[in-house]
Structures are given as C-alpha cells and as structure tokens.
Structure 1
C-alpha cells in the first residue's frame, strides 16, 4: 500500500508534476514518452528531451503520431539535449549541473512565451555509471524542488527497469509523488480500456456491455495480433456480459494466443466456470497484477 503516490496517465499530468516512469521494454517507453512529447508539441509547449543517446533515443513520432521531429527542432519548440552538455562534469554525473540546466530551461521557456514546458530525462545512462545510484537520487530531489512549485512545467524522469535492482527501483520511485502510465485506449466514463505491459495486455475498468463490444474488440485485436500470452486485468471491472467473454475466447481460439483473466471478481470467475466446457479451453483464470 502506497498512499502517498498519485497514479496518472500521461494525458492527465498537471503543471508541477514531477513524474516517474520505470519501463521494461521499448514498447512501454515509446507508448508513454511518445504521448508526452506529442501532447506537448500539439499543445504549444516547449519540449526538452535530455538523453544519453541523442536523437536515436526519441520515440518514433513519425509512424506513431505522424509528426516530423525536424519541423519542431527547427522551430525551437523541441530541443534534444545530450547529457554530456547538461548533466555531466568531466564525465561524472553531476546533480548540481543538472539542476542548473533545468532552471535555465524553465526560465528560457518563460521568456520564449510558450504555454508550458515539458522535460523528460532518461536517467539510465547516469545510473549505470560508477556511483550513479546516489547521484541520481540526489538529482531527483533537486528536480522535484525545481518542478513542484512551477505553474507551467511538467517533468518525467525515466529509467530502464532492467538496469536496476528492485531495491534501487523502490528508492527511485520514492523520490516522486506521481507515477505515470499509459493513456487509455478508450474511456467513456462507463468503461476504461488501458494497455498494460508487465504482463502485456489490457486493464478493464467499469462495465463492459454490448454497447462497447466494438471498442473492446479493437483494443483486444491490438494486443492479441502480436501473438504470445495476453493478460486481461479485470480487477476494476464491475460487469461483463457473455458476449464479451465469447469475444475473449474467440480471439484466443482463432489466433492461438493464451488469454489469461487476472483478478476477476468472484462472480465473473463463477460465470467462466459455469460455461467452462465452451470457454476454458481458451481462457484461463489468473491472479497477476498488470501495470
């Protein structure tokens, strides 16, 4: 139980949010950070991307969102800053220099009269350096002090979870009050469908009835067509009709994907067991927690 954390989708981030993303693969990284960059460019924000890998580290905005990064780089709305020029002193990660850079970026964005400013930095290269853990933790505290009072700035600090131990990830997460995740594929106030990545699948919340079969089918197709195991987290689902269950089973049957229903309500588990002779060959009940 982590009551001091606020979980927001990337589209719900607010000025003053110093958010945290630990990603475990490129798909999750591009889904969240790509949306963060896209929303900023579409909304007339200054977008600053601090990276250790240069432009190669930028999410694929062309294929995902039909945006041409060069257009925004030329206009100055998008800036890609190498860590060597913003975070390192004689090759060592320097929290003080990072803070100075951040404050300069915020001040410059104000004078350039952008609506807001979005900053994202991948801490993974710094974390991998000698002494990187302590330096990154100090840096996070400094970033929070710079971002939290702001009325125009939003920041996402990222790290590749594969480069850290669970204890290190916990320490990093505790430097943030906002944990950021993917935007929903669909949310009409009755049903919310959100992609998950660990394990890969969908999180369903609310009520899934016949009026929402079409949007559910499209969301399910996006994850099932890639093959492999698909998890549907149903912990927040209050109602599902038999038609939607049949769609889940049909998707598994026709594609060969293993579809696992995680954290279903007792009533839903009873329904699956009741019609088990028809559905259980393709649907399994699990208890995993997707993020």
Structure 2
C-alpha cells in the first residue's frame, strides 16, 4: 500500500532495529519531538550511541536534543550523544557534500562499535533550501548511499523532513527513497487493540476490538488528544468490533469537545456501525462529524 508522499509502509519508532533506514515527514514540532524522544530513549535502552544532525548554524550540543526530547537529565546523555551541524558538510560555494557526511558517519559507526555500543542511531532534519535543485539531488544521493551503508545492520537512520519547509516534489522524492516511514509508538497495544497517535490529521488511529475489557485504555487514549485545538479525527477503518460502551465513550468525547466549540470526526467506520449510530440518533451528537462514507450509506 502506498501512503501519502509515496511512503509504502509504516513502522513504530519503538520497533526500529539496526539496518533500518526510515523517514519522518512532519509538519509540527510536536510530532517531530515526540518521535525523536522515543527514538533517543529507545537507543539508550538498547545500548546504542546517538548522533543527531542539525541544520542549525551553531548547534548548542546536547542541549538542543534535551530540549527537543523534553529531557531534563543531561547526565543520562553524557558520552552517548553527539550533535553535528550540517553546515560543516557544505562546500566553499555552500553546496551540500553528501560524500563528506557519509565518510563522517562511517567513521562514527566504527568508533561506536569500538567503544562497545551495539549500534549507532542517526537522526536529523535534512530539508534542502527551497528551490535549490542541486541540494535536492545531493540529498537524494546521500539517501541512496545511506541506505547502502546502513544495510550492514551496524546502524539505523531516521531522516526527518519538515513539510513546512520542503516543496511537495522534494517530499515525494525523499519519501520514495525510503522503504518505510516511522510513526509514534502506540498509546495502547494489547492482543486485541492498538491505538496510535496521529498528527496529519491530528487524532488517533484505532485498530482491533473495543469491548468492555478495553474501555479504560480507549478512554485514556482519547484524553491524550482532548486538548487538541482543531478538529480531532479518529480513523477507524481497522476496527473489527466496537461495542455500545465503546460508542458511548466516543459520543461523550464528542460532546466534551462541543462544549469547547471543537469537533471530532469519525472516519472509516464499517457500514453496520454507521447504521447503529444513525438508528440510535447519535449521528446528531453535538461535536460529532461523520466522514463522507456515512452520507453514502444513508
């Protein structure tokens, strides 16, 4: 299945393993920082070393990563995290030099293994300057070389691209250079239910079975997006079963948002669930909006 911007398959950040080369197309600092935080903490737990690439002209060392990951314990990162400015890998004419960066990464991998770590984790914001086709081609060359280099399973890479700064054609090209995209770890992951925070659009993706045993988990997941200012979208195309108690939770969530002049949209509901909502009259719940599919099954 091909997703937006050509990315074929999603992987949770906590499921990344050495040898993976994935991308994150983000459009908010919240999305970037949340996934970066899990990427860093997962690396610390796995005894990996972390290298963060930044386009900042004067990167303030570990403080930048601490801030973006909302971490307060600088000592926990001591000796295990390096921050590298991408400006170091531009030629005298200001052009990005992918070969120079790759050589540095190759050396970093060798040092990481020599120091006794299991692998090197690399993450960084890599958007080219708007309209700079030459930098775009150099970055694509870098991505190709990186995929070949990191296939050795001695390192893993998370390449971040800011949708707000990159042109659509560039985003398509960068996404196509990666076999998978990364997304946040599930808020809920049980044998029967998975709930994942989404950012484009803001909301949740709900998969599996919602029954009496999972109401508490669903309620807590809904609370995690209660403060979202815009519309919250609940993507439910992979919901196999949703009991009346679960539906009541969704209706209560919609009414609570309506009280603050906000809305929630349910998308992808199976036809029989849409019929239940309509028969009960819950389709008129304040704050609730049903996706286009609902109109088609009336």
- After TM superposition, is the score higher than 0.5? yes
Query: Secondary structure, in 3 states, of the residue corresponding to 1:195?
Result: strand
Query: Could you tell me how far 1:96 is from its partner in structure 2?
Result: 0.8
Query: Could you tell me how far 1:89 is from its partner in structure 2?
Result: 2.3
Cross-structure match for 2:19: 16
Distance 2:186 2:282 in 1: 33
> 2:33 aligned to 21, 30, 39, which one?
30
Cross-structure match for 2:296: none
Cross-structure match for 2:2: 2
Query: Could you tell me how far 1:165 is from its partner in structure 2?
Result: 2.7
* Root-mean-square deviation (Å): 2.1
Report if aligned partners of 1:21, 1:180 keep a CA contact under 8 Å in 2: yes
- Structure 1 unaligned regions, length at least 5: none
Report if aligned partners of 2:255, 2:288 keep a CA contact under 8 Å in 1: no
Q: Structure 1 pair 226/153, CA: closer, same or farther in 2 (3 Å)?
A: same
Whether 1:71 and 2:78 are equivalent positions in the alignment is no
Query: Could you tell me how far 1:230 is from its partner in structure 2?
Result: 0.7
Query: Could you tell me how far 1:98 is from its partner in structure 2?
Result: 1.3
> 1:211 aligned to 213, 227, 231, which one?
213
> 1:58 aligned to 50, 65, 69, which one?
65
Kindly report which structure 2 residues correspond to 1:173-192, keeping only aligned pairs within 5 A, or say none: 173-192=175-194
The superposition leaves residues 161-189 of structure 1 with CA deviations (integer Å, 9 ceiling, x where unpaired) of: 11223222111111111211111001012
Distance 2:157 2:54 in 1: 14
> 1:123 aligned to 126, 151, 154, which one?
126
Query: Could you tell me how far 1:283 is from its partner in structure 2?
Result: 2.0
The superposition leaves residues 211-254 of structure 1 with CA deviations (integer Å, 9 ceiling, x where unpaired) of: 11111111101102333311100011001111111111112212
Identify the range of structure 1 (273-282 vs 246-255) with the bigger mean alpha-carbon deviation.
273-282
Query: Secondary structure, in 3 states, of the residue corresponding to 2:182?
Result: strand
Report if aligned partners of 2:37, 2:69 keep a CA contact under 8 Å in 1: no
Query: Secondary structure, in 3 states, of the residue corresponding to 1:227?
Result: coil
Report if aligned partners of 1:61, 1:67 keep a CA contact under 8 Å in 2: no
Distance 1:278 1:286 in 2: 11
Query: Secondary structure, in 3 states, of the residue corresponding to 1:22?
Result: strand
The superposition leaves residues 237-281 of structure 1 with CA deviations (integer Å, 9 ceiling, x where unpaired) of: 001111111111112212323110011111111111111257533
Kindly report which structure 2 residues correspond to 1:94-105, keeping only aligned pairs within 5 A, or say none: 94-105=97-108
Kindly report which structure 2 residues correspond to 1:100-111, keeping only aligned pairs within 5 A, or say none: 100-111=103-114
Q: Structure 1 pair 266/42, CA: closer, same or farther in 2 (3 Å)?
A: same
Distance 2:282 2:116 in 1: 64
Distance 1:190 1:142 in 2: 40
Kindly report which structure 2 residues correspond to 1:274-285, keeping only aligned pairs within 5 A, or say none: 274-277=279-282, 280-285=285-290
Q: Structure 1 pair 207/279, CA: closer, same or farther in 2 (3 Å)?
A: farther
Identify the range of structure 1 (214-223 vs 278-287) with the bigger mean alpha-carbon deviation.
278-287
Query: Secondary structure, in 3 states, of the residue corresponding to 1:163?
Result: coil
